[in-house]
């Protein structure tokens, strides 16, 4: 056992002990607490919890590597995964909070007065959240496996056990405060290596101000090698793919059930808009830093690693070559490692750079703990969304309306354990790369819930038949495009599977509007309830009149 192993293990165990302590300390006692944390989480803390929920293994482990590989085209992830918070905070969050529902399917069931709509929405929630959580669990498996030098499958199983325990026993209240802690761990773990690299390369501790020159220098280095410049736009995909991917990630953000559920935990509409603002500020800290991380990593690789003698490569290369995620081959046979002879997988950039830059065992261990926090915190929020879709929307509202609080809590916990185990089993042999699975979950949310919720909140004429048509058409078109683009090579304007949400959303909006207009308008009571969402809590709309409670 080397000292790196011991330090990494100690840091991970210490942070896990903290999360579990908080979860146990806050063990939920009532169902209301279990699902929405008793609706009293202050906006700043809720913002951090949203941040931890939001920033998954894909953001923490994958994103900087993706930007490093794609150059400018990778920035669609930066703008897409942050710009969605405006759609969410302006168009949906306060209104959904006023509706007083617990979950997204419940809002849809109430708004459209249809159990069929409720069930379809609950199933969509489960599909989206389940798909997403497979990516998180397999991400945690990669980190645990790499770190402890055990099989990634065993690592995945360890992650499954941990997440099932604290999600089932803590409920969301446990998770809210656990996630505040996870946010702090993951953001510190991400910023420390970026700041150290910035000091090393530019001598300035503020990477955000200095890496512009590094980006320009990378372009120069590329030019000398005869490659297209790092920052040149639309080299890896068409402009339309960039725009479609950005839209899919933005609208998917506004349609993800586990993120929307966070906005039910605030006390008022005002608190909902403040939560959205704080959330993006906290998320922004990581997103501002990811392109800097990418630029510094690429700079170090191009200037310090490339050009060294193959026989004298440092120790870190061997560990990573052994994982199969890094290849160094002296194809030119001159004994020198050239830049184009170095093949590095996206997903190891964040994990490997601290080793490459020689930042010390403490920083390397910290990054591993941050990666685990990112994967597990998102998995926790996803499992709560699956659990409430089943226990609350399907079991309680449809199957057994007489169920007691205790029975519902039990069903909720069983759902979490079963869903975690199932996701864990799929994660042992994931159907695609982590980032790919996550992108599909976003495309599905864009094609289903984004149109359904926007029309449900803003258009009183939208009825249950239109909604059901929209959900089903959106789901079908999104799935069909993903498969056609991925396996059939079918593309429109160069838009590949990750941009599929554009077509799903367009089809769903059209289907919802056309079918709604062709069928009977919703009852006056429903239309009044939709108008009521326009005003703050103190104002109530009824029969064409507005009442104010003082």
Partner 1 sequence: MVRKIDKSKADAYFREKNTYMIIYFIIWALVSYGVVLIAEPLSDVYFNGFPFHYYMGAQGALAVFIILLFVNAIVGDKIDKKYGIDEKRNEEIGKTSVSEH
Q: Smallest distance, Å, CB 77 to partner 1?
A: 10
Binding-residue pattern over the window 495 to 534 for partner 1, x denoting contact by CB under 8 A? ---------------------------------------x
Residue 203 interacts with partner 1 (CB under 8 A): yes or no: no
Q: Where does residue 148 fall: left (phi above 0), alpha (psi -120 to 50 degrees), or beta otherwise? A: alpha
* Residue 57 DSSP SS3: helix
Strand-pair category, 539-542 with 342-344? unpaired
For 2, residues 6+ apart whose C-beta sits below 8 A from its C-beta are none
Residue 204 interacts with partner 1 (CB under 8 A): yes or no: no
Residue 45 interacts with partner 1 (CB under 8 A): yes or no: no
* Residue 370 DSSP SS3: helix
Report the alpha-carbon distance of residue 450 to residue 128 in Å, rounded.
13
What are 342's strand-pairing partners? 328
Asked if 36 and 196 touch (Cβ cutoff 8 Å), the reply is: no
Short-list 482, 488, 484, 453, CA closest to 467: 453
Asked if 107 and 95 touch (Cβ cutoff 8 Å), the reply is: no
Q: Which is nearer to partner 1, 235 or 330 (CB)?
A: 235
Short-list 422, 369, 351, 128, CA closest to 256: 128
Residue 206 CB coordination number (10 Å): 12
Q: Which is nearer to partner 1, 518 or 546 (CB)?
A: 546
Q: Which is nearer to partner 1, 34 or 320 (CB)?
A: 34
Q: Which member of 204, 213, 327, 340 binds partner 1 (CB under 8 A)?
A: 213
- Per CB under 8 A, the segment of 156-164, 192-200, 242-250, 304-312 that binds partner 1 is 242-250
Residue 222 interacts with partner 1 (CB under 8 A): yes or no: no
Q: Which of residues 78-137 bind partner 1 (CB under 8 A)?
A: 78-79, 82-83, 85-86, 89-90, 97-102, 106, 110
Residue 536 interacts with partner 1 (CB under 8 A): yes or no: yes
Residue 459 interacts with partner 1 (CB under 8 A): yes or no: no
Short-list 89, 72, 413, CA closest to 273: 89
Q: Which of residues 248-267 bind partner 1 (CB under 8 A)?
A: 267
Residue 315 interacts with partner 1 (CB under 8 A): yes or no: no
Reading the block at residue 234, the tokens are: 């639309």
- Per CB under 8 A, the segment of 131-139, 215-223, 362-370, 508-516 that binds partner 1 is 215-223
Q: Which of residues 374-413 bind partner 1 (CB under 8 A)?
A: 396-397
Reading the block at residue 436, the tokens are: 């790919």
Q: What angle do CA 246, 288, 83 make, to 5 degrees?
A: 30
Residue 298 interacts with partner 1 (CB under 8 A): yes or no: no
Q: Count interface residues toward partner 1 (CB under 8 A).
A: 69
Using CB under 8 A, list all residues that contact partner 1: 39, 72, 75-76, 78-79, 82-83, 85-86, 89-90, 97-102, 106, 110, 208-216, 219, 231-234, 239, 242-243, 246, 267-270, 273-274, 276-277, 280-281, 284, 287-288, 291, 396-397, 534-541, 544-550
């Amino acid at each position: 056992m080397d000292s790196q192993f011991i330090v990494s293990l100690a840091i991970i165990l210490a942070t896990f002990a903290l999360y579990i302590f908080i979860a146990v300390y806050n063990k939920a006692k009532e169902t209301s607490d279990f699902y929405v944390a008793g609706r009293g989480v202050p906006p700043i803390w809720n913002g951090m919890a949203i941040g931890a929920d939001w920033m998954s293994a894909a953001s923490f482990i994958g994103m900087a590597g993706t930007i490093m590989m794609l150059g400018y085209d990778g920035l669609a992830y930066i703008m897409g995964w942050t710009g969605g918070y405006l759609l969410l905070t302006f168009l949906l969050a306060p209104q959904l909070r006023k509706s007083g529902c617990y979950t997204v399917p419940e809002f849809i069931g109430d708004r459209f007065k249809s159990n069929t709509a409720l069930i379809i929405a609950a199933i969509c929630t489960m599909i989206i959240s389940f798909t997403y959580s497979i990516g998180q669990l397999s991400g945690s498996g990669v980190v645990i496996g790499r770190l402890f030098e055990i099989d990634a499958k065993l690592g995945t199983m360890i992650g499954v056990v941990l997440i099932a325990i604290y999600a089932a026993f803590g409920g969301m209240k446990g998770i809210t405060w656990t996630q505040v802690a996870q946010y702090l761990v993951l953001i510190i773990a991400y910023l420390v290596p970026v700041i150290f690299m910035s000091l090393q390369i530019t001598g300035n501790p503020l990477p955000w101000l200095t890496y512009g020159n590094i980006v320009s220098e990378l372009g120069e280095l590329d030019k000398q090698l005869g490659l297209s410049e790092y920052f040149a736009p639309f080299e890896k995909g068409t402009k339309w793919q960039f725009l479609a991917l950005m839209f899919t990630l933005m609208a998917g953000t506004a349609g993800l059930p586990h993120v929307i559920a966070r906005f039910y935990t605030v006390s008022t509409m005002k608190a909902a808009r403040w939560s959205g603002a704080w959330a993006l500020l906290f998320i922004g800290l990581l997103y501002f830093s990811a392109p800097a991380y990418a630029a510094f990593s690429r700079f170090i690789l191009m200037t310090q690693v490339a050009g060294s003698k193959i026989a004298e490569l440092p120790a870190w290369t061997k560990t990573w070559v052994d994982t199969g995620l890094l290849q160094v081959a002296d194809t030119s046979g001159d004994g020198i490692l050239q830049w184009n002879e170095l093949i590095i997988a996206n997903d190891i950039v964040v994990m490997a750079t601290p080793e490459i830059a020689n930042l010390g065992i403490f920083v390397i261990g910290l990054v591993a703990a941050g990666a685990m926090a990112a994967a597990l915190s998102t998995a926790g929020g996803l499992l709560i969304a699956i659990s409430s879709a089943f226990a609350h929307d399907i079991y309680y509202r449809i199957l057994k309306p007489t169920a007691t609080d205790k029975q519902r809590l039990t069903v909720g916990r069983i759902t979490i354990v079963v869903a975690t185990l199932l996701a864990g089993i799929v994660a042992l042999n994931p159907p695609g790369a982590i980032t790919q699975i996550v992108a599909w979950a976003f495309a599905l949310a864009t094609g289903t819930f984004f149109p359904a919720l926007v029309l449900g909140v803003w258009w009183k004429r939208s009825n249950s038949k239109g909604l059901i048509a929209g959900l089903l058409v959106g789901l079908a078109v999104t799935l069909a495009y993903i498969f056609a683009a991925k396996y059939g090579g079918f593309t429109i304007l160069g838009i590949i599977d990750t941009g599929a949400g554009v077509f799903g959303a367009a089809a769903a909006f059209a289907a919802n509007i056309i079918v709604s207009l062709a069928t009977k308008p919703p009852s006056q009571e429903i239309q009044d309830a939709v108008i009521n969402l326009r005003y703050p809590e103190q104002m109530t709309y009824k029969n064409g009149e507005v009442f104010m409670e003082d």
